Chain A
Amino acid sequence: MAETKIAILGAGPGGYVAAIRAAQLGAKVTVIEDAEVGGTCLNRGCIPTKTLVATTEVYEKVKEAASFGIELEGGAKLNIPKIMDRQSKVISTLVKGIRGLFKMHGIELIEGRGALVDGKNIEVTLKDGSGKRTVTADKIIIATGSRPAEIPTFPFDHEKIISSDDAICFSAVPKRILIVGAGVIGSEFACVFKGMGSEEVTMVELMPRCLSTEDPEISEMMAREFKKKKIKLILNAKIEKVTVNDDGTVTSYMEGGATVVSDQVLVSIGRALNTKGIGIENTAVKLGKRGEILVNEYMETEEPGIYAIGDCVGGIMLAHLASAEGLCAVENIMHGNVKKMDYRVIPAGIFTLPEIGSVGLREHEANDKGIKVKIGRFALRGLGKAQAMNELAGMVKVIADAETDKILGVHIMGAHSTDFIHEAAVAMAMGATSKQVAEMIHSHPTLAESVMEAMEDVHGMAIHVPPAMGK
């Protein structure tokens, strides 16, 4: 049998993972990327922000050194160029890693901007200016991702009015920054800038709560953490206009007349899909209302043989979900549409300080679906490990089906919760009940004990919760 030729448009976490899996399964793979392998995640998103969060965390810990019994003379001082250097190094290590894996798997990487000519051909305008090249494939995967959404109210000048792409690189911590949108990106940057010494960080959010898609109790807890950090959170508020003043400051005008003056405005109101200018119109691929590529449960578009994955299909925008969709698409390409994409268990992390790990239904979502639930909660400060680490903020909230006790969702705010949320994800993937997880022996002293306690609390049996305590 002739080997399957697969062309992948985009080398982000969707495209590059799909490429490697396709190669493992014996396909001949060509990847077309016009920026850098790793995509937004590695170059402008997950990874660079996490290096900033890591620095902020160390900085905050160093400032607490005395309480850990460490005496520091002269105090701590940030060196911004070094922070940026470290960020670049981490990115380049990972970029090289992907490029190396491509080489070892015999994956061809074409650097340039690709556009579909028809269902089998992609024309690539090469990045090095040497002209154009046509790639022909049996199957195509579109993985073009997304970019920061820009609306006329906030025209990016990339200096005063910036997007998350701009915010990851700076030569000085802004003294006063206004962040439009208290979603995941806005909240993460708020913690970074405030932690690194911004005097005023103000978040303006249209919705009645920050992180509005999270469980309401988690939003409320995070709002309190913002308050502790002196990050100002203005809810139910809309900014109508921003103007850059002659003295270099920016004035944001809010509906109702209030104004906020800052040195920069970071706009984090969502992400726009990269589905224009890639030749969709030359194929039978159909777009939805928001410009998202429509796919079936096998990740295949309306044009047989063309698949689409990741942010450009418009679902939940998570790097690891794009990767999972990529693996699903490849499996279906190589073995005939055999695998339906499984969206049941998608853990997600928000890298605020403290961080948030969540999986499954939030309480309001369960209510909307009419599911009767039982809730278990456990405050992290009840753990020996949390006390030893001086990481007291946060809690675990378990949502279980009131009839079957099956775990429907787990939401954690607290140190390292984006790591230990996976215990809950595994349990949910295996269809476990809260009692089963509560009965599993958990190692002591660990933060994961909080998951056990919250599972016990579903049944009113948590050990380290006073009996009368409501929460």
Chain B
Amino acid sequence: MNPADLKYHKEHSWVKVDGNRATIGITDYAQESLGDIVYIDLPEADAQVEADGEIGEIESTKATSTVISPVSGTIVKVNSELEDTPETINEDPYGKGWIVVVEMDNSSELSSLMDAEEYGKFVEENK
């Protein structure tokens, strides 16, 4: 299930907030839809990201898909282990499959995101 302590973006990414820092990944629904992930194109640390902007690209056996950032800010950490083991995203999308940590510019952006229940409904409606 989608963890209750996360916020969700309609492009199927999640954010976990810790102070001014936001850890970002893709949702279980996203990894399930993509199928076996074979590659992730990760951003560079220090890069600037915009809310609704692209932070990376994921290739699965089925499709190529962009990872959308739910918040604006500066990327301070990149999960470079995914380069060698992108399948971690399939195995643990809300844990070891995290993608980046962003130092947020504007935490008010979080209010436009969905909570777990809203996201669950959103996915059901869009299936």
A residues contacting B by CB (< 8 A) are 224, 227-228, 379, 381, 387, 392, 471
| In the complex, residue of chain B having the shortest beta-carbon distance to the beta carbon of A390 | B61
A228 near B39: Cβ-Cβ < 8 Å: yes
With A and B bound together, what is the CA distance between A228 and B59 in angstroms? 11
6 chain-A/chain-B pairs, Cβ below 8 angstroms: A224-B39, A224-B41, A227-B41, A381-B62, A381-B63, A387-B61
With A and B bound together, what is the CA distance between A381 and B37 in angstroms? 13
B39 near A381: Cβ-Cβ < 8 Å: no
Residue picked from A379, A387, A392, most chain B C-beta under 10 Å: A392
With A and B bound together, what is the CA distance between A392 and B37 in angstroms? 12
**Main secondary structure on A side of the interface with B:** helix
| In the complex, residue of chain A having the shortest beta-carbon distance to the beta carbon of B64 | A379
Report the minimal beta-carbon distance from B14 to chain A, rounded to whole angstroms: 22
What are the residues of chain A within 8 A of B64 when measuring CB–CB?
Answer: 379, 381, 471
What are the residues of chain A within 8 A of B38 when measuring CB–CB?
Answer: 392
What are the residues of chain B within 8 A of A227 when measuring CB–CB?
Answer: 41
Report the minimal beta-carbon distance from A468 to chain B, rounded to whole angstroms: 12
Report the minimal beta-carbon distance from A463 to chain B, rounded to whole angstroms: 15
| In the complex, residue of chain B having the shortest beta-carbon distance to the beta carbon of A392 | B61
B residues contacting A by CB (< 8 A) are 38-39, 41, 59, 61-64
| In the complex, residue of chain B having the shortest beta-carbon distance to the beta carbon of A225 | B39
| In the complex, residue of chain B having the shortest beta-carbon distance to the beta carbon of A386 | B61
| In the complex, residue of chain B having the shortest beta-carbon distance to the beta carbon of A466 | B63
With A and B bound together, what is the CA distance between A381 and B38 in angstroms? 12
Given contacts A227-B41, A379-B64, A471-B64, list 7 more A-B pairs with CB under 8 A. Answer: A224-B41, A228-B39, A379-B63, A381-B61, A381-B64, A392-B38, A392-B59
What are the residues of chain A within 8 A of B61 when measuring CB–CB?
Answer: 381, 387, 392
| In the complex, residue of chain A having the shortest beta-carbon distance to the beta carbon of B39 | A228
What are the residues of chain A within 8 A of B59 when measuring CB–CB?
Answer: 392
With A and B bound together, what is the CA distance between A291 and B64 in angstroms? 46
Report the minimal beta-carbon distance from B55 to chain A, rounded to whole angstroms: 16
A-B pairs with CB below 8 Å: how many?
15
Which 7 pairs, one residue from A and one from B, show the smallest C-beta to C-beta distance? A228-B39, A392-B61, A224-B41, A381-B61, A379-B64, A381-B62, A381-B63
With A and B bound together, what is the CA distance between A379 and B39 in angstroms? 15
Report the minimal beta-carbon distance from A234 to chain B, rounded to whole angstroms: 15
| In the complex, residue of chain A having the shortest beta-carbon distance to the beta carbon of B42 | A227
What are the residues of chain A within 8 A of B62 when measuring CB–CB?
Answer: 381
What are the residues of chain B within 8 A of A392 when measuring CB–CB?
Answer: 38, 59, 61
Report the minimal beta-carbon distance from B72 to chain A, rounded to whole angstroms: 22
| In the complex, residue of chain A having the shortest beta-carbon distance to the beta carbon of B84 | A230
What are the residues of chain B within 8 A of A228 when measuring CB–CB?
Answer: 39
Report the minimal beta-carbon distance from B82 to chain A, rounded to whole angstroms: 12
| In the complex, residue of chain B having the shortest beta-carbon distance to the beta carbon of A387 | B61
What are the residues of chain A within 8 A of B63 when measuring CB–CB?
Answer: 379, 381
What are the residues of chain B within 8 A of A379 when measuring CB–CB?
Answer: 63-64
With A and B bound together, what is the CA distance between A136 and B106 in angstroms? 84
What are the residues of chain A within 8 A of B39 when measuring CB–CB?
Answer: 224, 228
What are the residues of chain B within 8 A of A224 when measuring CB–CB?
Answer: 39, 41
With A and B bound together, what is the CA distance between A387 and B60 in angstroms? 11
| In the complex, residue of chain B having the shortest beta-carbon distance to the beta carbon of A469 | B63
With A and B bound together, what is the CA distance between A298 and B61 in angstroms? 50
Report the minimal beta-carbon distance from A413 to chain B, rounded to whole angstroms: 13
Report the minimal beta-carbon distance from A187 to chain B, rounded to whole angstroms: 19
With A and B bound together, what is the CA distance between A227 and B62 in angstroms? 20
With A and B bound together, what is the CA distance between A392 and B61 in angstroms? 7
Report the minimal beta-carbon distance from B83 to chain A, rounded to whole angstroms: 8
With A and B bound together, what is the CA distance between A379 and B64 in angstroms? 9
Report the minimal beta-carbon distance from B127 to chain A, rounded to whole angstroms: 15
With A and B bound together, what is the CA distance between A392 and B35 in angstroms? 13
| In the complex, residue of chain A having the shortest beta-carbon distance to the beta carbon of B62 | A381
With A and B bound together, what is the CA distance between A68 and B38 in angstroms? 16
With A and B bound together, what is the CA distance between A224 and B38 in angstroms? 12
With A and B bound together, what is the CA distance between A387 and B38 in angstroms? 13
With A and B bound together, what is the CA distance between A224 and B58 in angstroms? 11
Report the minimal beta-carbon distance from B64 to chain A, rounded to whole angstroms: 7
Report the minimal beta-carbon distance from A103 to chain B, rounded to whole angstroms: 52
With A and B bound together, what is the CA distance between A227 and B59 in angstroms? 13
What are the residues of chain B within 8 A of A381 when measuring CB–CB?
Answer: 61-64
Report the minimal beta-carbon distance from A440 to chain B, rounded to whole angstroms: 27
With A and B bound together, what is the CA distance between A381 and B64 in angstroms? 9
Report the minimal beta-carbon distance from B39 to chain A, rounded to whole angstroms: 6
Report the minimal beta-carbon distance from A459 to chain B, rounded to whole angstroms: 22
Report the minimal beta-carbon distance from B113 to chain A, rounded to whole angstroms: 22
| In the complex, residue of chain B having the shortest beta-carbon distance to the beta carbon of A228 | B39
With A and B bound together, what is the CA distance between A59 and B37 in angstroms? 23
With A and B bound together, what is the CA distance between A99 and B64 in angstroms? 50
| In the complex, residue of chain A having the shortest beta-carbon distance to the beta carbon of B61 | A392
Report the minimal beta-carbon distance from A172 to chain B, rounded to whole angstroms: 26
Report the minimal beta-carbon distance from A210 to chain B, rounded to whole angstroms: 15
With A and B bound together, what is the CA distance between A387 and B61 in angstroms? 8
| In the complex, residue of chain A having the shortest beta-carbon distance to the beta carbon of B41 | A224
With A and B bound together, what is the CA distance between A227 and B63 in angstroms? 18
